[in-house]
Amino acid sequence: MDDSLILEVADFEHDVLTGIYSEETGEPQPLRISVQARMKPLRRYDPDTTLDASKNYMDLKFAASGALPEGVHFKLIEAVADHICETLLVQDRRVEAVTVKIVKLAISEKGEKIGVTLHRERDE
């Protein structure tokens, strides 16, 4: 069995221009985003293992915030998730797969978690 390492940033909120209905367009909407990146781990992580043996968790958060193009309106949150996946896969060849979960907070009426989960494997 092959080992895998899953890095995760979960449930952070970021405002994104998204939506298809008139009440959704024009203003950023709050999204709750979780990102997982699967990598092949080292055989062993000693106490003095350096960061370059893994990936900085903040790269995951950046892909779902700062790397989203400013001023671009994503009609679907699927497109937001797609952009996050592609950013992480292009950014680091060691990333084997990415899973992005997005919840649209503005449309929840009674605390439901309405959104999408996109999982993308590296082609190769």
CA distance 2 to 41: 9
The structure tokens listed for 94 are 């060691």
pTM confidence score: 0.92
- Return the CATH number at 39: 3.30.1130.10
- Residue 24 confidence (pLDDT): 79
Distance of CA 21 to the CA centre of its chain: 24
Average pLDDT, consecutive stretches of 10 residues, N- to C-terminus, the chain (124 residues): 90 95 86 96 92 91 94 96 97 96 91 94 87
Selection from 8, 9, 27 nearest residue 19 by Cα: 27
Q: How many domains does the chain have?
A: 1
What domain range includes position 93?
5-121
